[in-house]
Every structure is written in structure tokens, then in C-alpha cells.
Amino acid sequence: MSHSQPSRESPPGPALLSLPFTGRWMATNSPARRIPSHGTDLLGERYAIDFVGVDERGRTAAVRSWGTFFGTEPPERFVAFGRPILAPAGGTVVRVHDGEPDHVARRSQLSLIPYALGQAARLRQGVGAIAGNHVVIRLADGAGFVALVHLRNGSMRVRVGEVVHTGDLLAQCGNSGNSTQPHVHLQVMDNLDLARAAGLPVRFREYRVWPTGGRGAKLHESGLPGEGVVVEPIRPMA
């Protein structure tokens, strides 16, 4: 199946999306900090952004153990794991990939070093080993394709060909693919074929930013969360 691509000579403006969740999440690997956001243009990642679920105290997990400092931890320990992931815009589901396992989580430097050394091997294994379980939606306004990545094994709630609307349940947050702790990776790209895709810029509508300490949130009509910023949709998406 072929898909039209936006003109490279006249790139479109940023795709305007809703945040694909409820509750509080911390932005990491934000293109507001650097471009390419993940240090590479491969696989359409130029403007990708990660969101890690946090609690009201800004913690990604409420429990620490020896594994936090010296080993690995179960993904169920983390706030993000199992949280609903919602459609950030209306469109048609064009890819659903499931069946990849949810890995143990890694916060300790001892566990991150061997994991980093295995990056090249995972890339050679293909998209499933990198993206894990994922959903791709062709945006209804023609602004490209939005991918939501690292979803929970067995949690998919949509099928290829299904029309979705902003706020529809897609799946749950997981720790599949190239992920060190449960989070959702979002990117917009100009092609469904990740080997050819170029990343496209993105902005998000109507969210609040929570400062350290959790009080005095600032409202944003639209924008791009900066690195380490905790965000929350202002109201449930309809």
C-alpha cells in the first residue's frame, strides 16, 4: 500500500495533537531540548518525545529496593505501567503490533551499561525489538502518521482499518521494545515505512505544567513540553 508524503520542499507546520493520556507525566527526550530529540534521525525519530508517568510527588515509582541501585526491577512497580494510552488525534489505524514482552525496568547504572551495549543488536532485530508493541495512526488532517510506542503486551484495543477519535482508548503503557522503564514514546512522521520515514514536528494542545512541589500549575493552550517538565491534560479529551 502506498501513502502520499508531505512535500520535503515545503514542510508542514507542527502537527497539533492532544496528550495521549490522563494524569501526570514527565516529558523526556524532548525536541524542545535538542533535535534530533533521541540523537538520531533513524526510524522517523527526529522530533519524537517520551512521557514517563509520575505520581503527585513527581515519582516514577513509589518503591525502591536493591534492584533500584544494583539490578533490575519489575515493570509493575512503575506508575506508568498499565495506564491507558489514548488517541492523540482522529484518524485511521494503519499498524498494530503486539506480542512483544514487557521487559524488566532498569534504573541502576550497573544495569544500564550492558543494556546500552546491546543497542546495535536490537536495531538489527528489526522494528519490533526497538518499538516493541505499537500503534500507528494516519492522521485525518493529512499531517502524517503518529506512532505510539512501547505499549503493554496484550493490551491493544484497536485494529488496523479502525477509525479513531481523539481520546479513544488504544492500549496501555508498557515496557516493550527498546525501553528501560515504562513510558510512552510518541512521534509524527511522513511515511509509514520507518526505514524511509522523516520525523515531523509536533505541538500539544491544552495542558498544565506542574512545577516541582506540585503546586501552582501553569496552563498552556498549546506548546511543546520541555525536558523534565511534568504535564497533565487540562480536561479529559472528547
What mean pLDDT, rounded, does the chain reach? 86
- Residue 7 maps to a domain: no
- Counted domains in the chain: 1
- Residue 187 maps to a domain: yes
Domain range spanning residue 49?
15-233
pLDDT digits (tens, 9 = 90+) for 44-58: 999 999 999 999 999
Whether 151 contacts 6, CB under 8 Å: no
- Residue 1 maps to a domain: no
Report the SS3 class of residue 75: helix
- Residue 238 maps to a domain: no
**pTM of the predicted structure, to 2 decimals:** 0.88
All three cell numbers of 180, joined, read 528501560
Interatomic CA distance for residues 168 and 200, integer angstroms: 23
CATH number at residue 111: 2.70.70.10
- Residue 128 maps to a domain: yes
Residues in a beta bridge with 179 = none
pLDDT digits (tens, 9 = 90+) for 107-130: 766 655 566 655 655 666 667 678
- Residue 111 maps to a domain: yes
If you average pLDDT over each of 6-10, 38-42, 85-89, 179-183, which comes out highest? Answer: 85-89
- Residue 192 maps to a domain: yes
- Residue 10 maps to a domain: no
Whose cell is 502518521? That residue is 145
